[in-house]
Structure 1
Amino acid sequence: MANKYYYSNTAVVTELVGSIASGDTTVVVDSASGYPVTFPYVIALDYDTDTEELVKVTSASGTALTVERAFGGTSAQAHSAGAVVKHVYNAIDATDFRTHEDASSGVHGVIGDVVGTSDTQTLANKTLTSPNISSPDISSPTITGTVAGDMTFSGAPVFNGVTTFKAKAALSWADVETPTATSAALTTSAESDTEWRFVLRADGQMGWGDGTNAPDVVLYRDVAGGLRLLDSRLLVTHTAPANIVLASLVDADTQPRFEVLADGSLWWGDGGAAPDVTLRRPQANVLETPDIFRARVETTTEGFTAKSGFSVTFGGARKTCGVCTIRIDVVRTGSQINASSAGNIDDTDVATIPVGWRPAALFGAVASDGFGDGEARIDTDGTVTIRTWSSNGAIVPNDRTIRITATYVM
């Protein structure tokens, strides 16, 4: 039983330094020598007189005591300077002792607060040290410290607040039994949510949502050695533009073979030294590399066909980055074509360029046989047409090779 009031065997009998009214809550005594240093305790003002009043001291600063008036049924009243002040025992403490004795079971009387060995009792505010409790039914307990032993939860426990698994603690998902592989093994949500914010399925798939709709960001193992983010995007942010947000290495590498920096630049290396090739955006609508850039180059010498009245002796093309350069050598097999003094001839189709090597729009070309030359065009269907020739010149059959060249965007 905790102390309600404190006592001292060495408290001196003293007196008031000044008068106090019935409503004052501070009294100053001549001496507080020997008075309790723990509060509260009780003193009598005008001790052993008809005007005696008990007050409860709740704090003290030197000889100035803070008090609650009219303690224990006495009356608050005025007291004059020099009134006798004495630290006293009080009837409230004595009454509490008697009440406790009468209410205690097994020792003092009827069933009460004292714990008996065979009594049926309700215990409150007890501290049990190293007890052995068999099959208890505990309602709403507060447990602190370390709980030792192997515990089995047969019901559906709910953990409110932050649950922390400290060092050496193991949480095995294999021990979470679910009806199917797609059943949830672990979920999290806010108190007001109607849907999960995070779900871990038994098959390892993880999903994230906003708490109001089903999870819409899904990460899972797609194939052996493969992780897939389904219909979502991965956003990586960093405060420093030059910091790495994504890198790839081979097991034995000491440096990344590929890096993505926070500023969007891409870097490549050999895995043994810092990456040395970069592709970056230096300004709006510009992509550059300060290093050497080599694009894929494709070539062909097949698929060039002649039109009526001509034969193709050579056809070749080379393309890279959407730009194509062609060369076609043709020989006139029909009758001679003569140009006017103005260089006009009938538009004459001479050859066809294969599919995959044709321009995106009508494009001009140059034609020459070494004796004369003219303007040609290449259509989007691959048709090559000579449209003009040298003034008063002629396209002579079976004698001269006409070479047609062009470079265009595909």
Structure 2
Amino acid sequence: MKPSLYLASLCFAAAIGATEQPLAGKWITDLHGQTLTDPQSSGFTWRHGELIHLGDNSAAEPLRNKLLRINPHTAKLNAEPLNITVSKQVLNGCFGELFNKHPDFESLTWDRTDDTVFITVTEDSSFVQLSADCKARYGETNSTDFPTLLVKIETDSTLSRAEITAVRPVQFPKAAGVGNFPNDGIEGLAFDNAGNLYLALEKNLANAPMIFNTAYQTDFWQQDGYVKVQDSGFVLPVPDAKNHPINGLDYLPAKKAGHPGYLVAAARNDDQLWIIDLSQQQAPFVQQMAYYAPTPADSACPAYERMVQTAIEGVAVHGDTVYLVNDAWKKHYPDNIQCPANAAHFNKFAPLLFSLPVDPRWFIQRLN
């Protein structure tokens, strides 16, 4: 009999060291118990007792532009993938050409005043162009030639339908130096409890991640102009000018009354979680992670094997639990193959679901 997840984690911790958090995942499976084929997990959020998943435009065709409903306890889908349709209003608007094709969706969150509304964001849209009239209206992004778009997805309480009904382009502050990097744009979205929407940027002209914010009010989707985001000014734990992007984001409420709360950011390239204090009264806590994939019970392999390339891109917080999902980097995901019985999962770019409890140590570090 293989050791339990808890015992395995204790073994991992002893082997790795106290500063590193070991985390054993579960393969996400479909209704038939099969691991998913290349969903390219990029959007991830909690709603109504389940995790909602959205992939980017490099996902396999059957899972592209689909919402997946995942049981957080079993990592199994609760229903067949749900197709996202697009309203005629959006298709006939300035950004219709993009939505007639396959938008590169990154991140997913839900409207805190209306939980039938999901919000996602587009990244690399360099394969389409704005018309001359639309470029005159929306060409001053201070970033990419084709704007980053915030996207409204309307659903119902049972998630039996999903339709894109509104889109708004983002304008960054010129002083932020975002740069024209189509594939290094916004990869994280999160709402706090005060009506602010946070947007996490992979990298700017200085090769550093940033977090922007904007007010989200009831008339947000009635407007058709730019969403003019502001630089949050948050000090991030970036050690150097090499690649340390943020690829996932969610909000963690504070236990302390009067505190605005925290952001949990996934630093994909570093296998880290950054716990960012919205009040900026304490330095971000850097939680180093070590991710493990389970092996089949009937194999001769150890119960779990450490992954060398995980690429976490989805973060969802619910209560005292943080859920994570990885977006398989096709070039390097097969590098994880150790146990022959797991080779098929890595070769089909199957993602895993990870979860960990909120750690009290995240909130006690002070600024030097």
Short-chain TM bin: under 0.3
TM-score (norm 2): 0.16
- Which one has a bigger Cα radius of gyration? 1
**Higher RCO (CA-CA < 8 Å; seq separation 6+):** 2
TM-score (norm 1): 0.15
